[in-house]
Homo-oligomer: A and B are copies of this chain.
Amino acid sequence: MQLLKDRIIKDGNVKPGNVLKVDSFLNHQMDIELFNEIGKEFKRLFADLNITKILTIEASGIGIACIVAQYFNVPVVFAKKAQSINIDGEVYSTKIESFTHKKTYDVIVSKRFLNKDDRVLIIDDFLANGCALVGLIDLVVSAGASVEGIGIVIEKGFQSGGEIIREMGIRLESLAIVESMNAEDGTVVFREDAR
């Protein structure tokens, strides 16, 4: 998605340790106009799948998922990190390791909001090692529902998550795949630009 790649080039910031900061428009401050363009693109890519529900994980996936959901006319469910006293006992749960925060979370979804008839589109802002996505897929499978597709805004193509998910046979669409980046000169190379 060219608009997104242009925005990453313009406003993204490459930091040491393969960190791509896009917090001015994607995951801290959020550009809702851009999110709407992202929503239209995911609708174009997944139009044929009769999606009944969008699933994401707190926190930074929620805003994108809600805007995207407008193009599918379906509710959004977000998986929650750690048990809250406001969640009923009846939940699907999985464990997700976060390298960013260096800990393992219990992640839950109420059984009332995922059922075997659901055709689920998973939406998230980033795909790197794939731990979060594998956890979300596990929640959907636990419910007997189907993962019809996964829509990612930015995939770090040099990490293993994309390959893991694609090898599972799941339709994964990433709107920008970063092939490589360089913290010294700030450059970002996208997959189709790579030779």
Give a binary string over A36-59; 1 marks a CB under 8 Å from any B CB, 0 the rest.
100000000000000000000011
CB–CB A63/B86 < 8 A: no
Please name all residues of chain B whose beta carbon is closer than 8 Å to the beta carbon of A25 when the two chains form the complex: 75
How many residues of A are counted as interface, with CB atoms below 8 angstroms from the partner's CB atoms? 40
A109–B67 Cα gap in the complex (Å)?
Answer: 22
- Nearest CB of B to A96, in Å: 15
Closest to A82 in B: B101
CB–CB A35/B86 < 8 A: no
A69: interface (CB < 8 Å)? yes
Number of copies: 2
- Out of B23, B30, B75, B87, name the residue touching A29 (CB < 8 Å): B75
**Can you give 6 contacting A-B residue pairs, CB < 8 Å?**
A21-B88, A29-B76, A30-B66, A32-B75, A67-B67, A84-B101
- Nearest CB of B to A143, in Å: 13
Task: Known contacts A63-B62, A63-B65, A63-B66; decide if A78 and B113 are in contact (CB<8 Å).
Answer: no
CB–CB B78/A32 < 8 A: no
A160–B36 Cα gap in the complex (Å)?
Answer: 38
Residues of A within 8 A of B (CB): 19, 21, 23-25, 28-33, 35-36, 58-59, 62-63, 65-67, 69-70, 73-78, 80, 84-88, 100-101, 109-110, 112-113
- Nearest CB of B to A180, in Å: 19
Please name all residues of chain B whose beta carbon is closer than 8 Å to the beta carbon of A76 when the two chains form the complex: 29-30, 32, 63
Task: Known contacts A19-B86, A58-B59; decide if A32 and B66 are in contact (CB<8 Å).
Answer: yes
